[in-house]
Amino acid sequence: MMNLPEASKTATIPEMSKERDPILVVEDVSQIRELLEVTLNFKGYPVVTAGNGQEALEKVAEKRPALIITDILMPKMDGYSLVYRLRKNPDTHDIPIVFLSATYVTPEDKQFAMNLGAVRFLEKPIDTPEFLLTVGEILTNGPETQPRLIDDLSFYQGYRERLEFKLRQKNQQIARIERLLNSMGDTQQPAFRDLLDEAKEHRDQIKSELEEIIRTIQKIEAKH
């Protein structure tokens, strides 16, 4: 688990340069976002933050970051959509991007992320030394290869597959919770009812995103 740096620890903190481009951290969970920011600041990196992909695009328009570290599952605009838009823009297509995720962690999820042009993929909870080493390597040596742009149809078809898989997972989770609720006592039910409500909310969000993706695919195919 990533822990907040302790002031009592002895460490050489590099002096921050006003000229250095910042690292952009994109994460909707405020505690994780703040933790990443503090950890990077502690090592001398200037940081700006955003709570979702739409905010991130606005931050990038204000000042080009040296590196973007982004979660995938976020409201308004998720990490996949953010990276796809950045890669399509000639002014931002070469910004190195690291994905962080606790949800999209299957081999297929990771491969889709790399196909979008991510330079690294890290799973949550973050291992602090590995995280800092990854950041240091990218900022010092640059990406190993230049990102390539995938076409619109390939992006949306790949995105659809990822969402359909997540929807199946979420429906299975909901079914398990409902079976459990039917077999437990009244005192145990409130916590699991909260879990059920949260799972249904996530399911509805995935369904909404999936419906939008399907409509987009249909529009693209109609043009060909």
- Kindly report the three-state secondary structure assignment for every residue of 141-190: HCCCCCCCCCCHHHHHHHHHHHHHHHHHHHHHHHHHHHHHHHHCCCCCHH
Topology adopted by domain 23-141: Rossmann fold (3.40.50)
Answer whether 205's CB lies under 8 Å from 213's CB.
Answer: no
Q: How far is CA 120 from the centre of its chain?
A: 12
pLDDT band at residue 143 using 50, 70 and 90 as cut-offs: confident
Three-state secondary-structure class, residue 40: helix
Which range is least confidently modeled, 57-66, 136-145, 170-179?
136-145
One-letter identity of residue 143: P
pLDDT at 21: 94
Give the model confidence (pLDDT) of 10-66 as tens digits. Answer: 333 344 434 589 999 999 999 999 999 999 999 999 999 999 999 999 999 999 999
Kindly state the tokens that stand for 72: 């995938």
Helix (H, G, I), strand (E, B) or coil at 26: strand
Q: Which residue has the higher pLDDT, 142 or 159?
A: 159
pTM for the whole structure = 0.81
- The pLDDT value recorded for residue 186 is 82
**Domain ranges for the chain:** 23-141, 152-223
Mean pLDDT across 66-85:
92
The 3-class SS string of 65-134 reads CCEEEEECCCCCCCHHHHHHHHHHCCCCCCCCEEEEECCCCCHHHHHHHHHCCCCEEEECCCCHHHHHHH
Mean pLDDT for 166-173 is 94
Average pLDDT, the chain: 88
Q: Say what the pLDDT of residue 15 is.
A: 42
pLDDT > 80? residue 68: yes
Bridge pairing between strands 67-71 and 47-50: unpaired
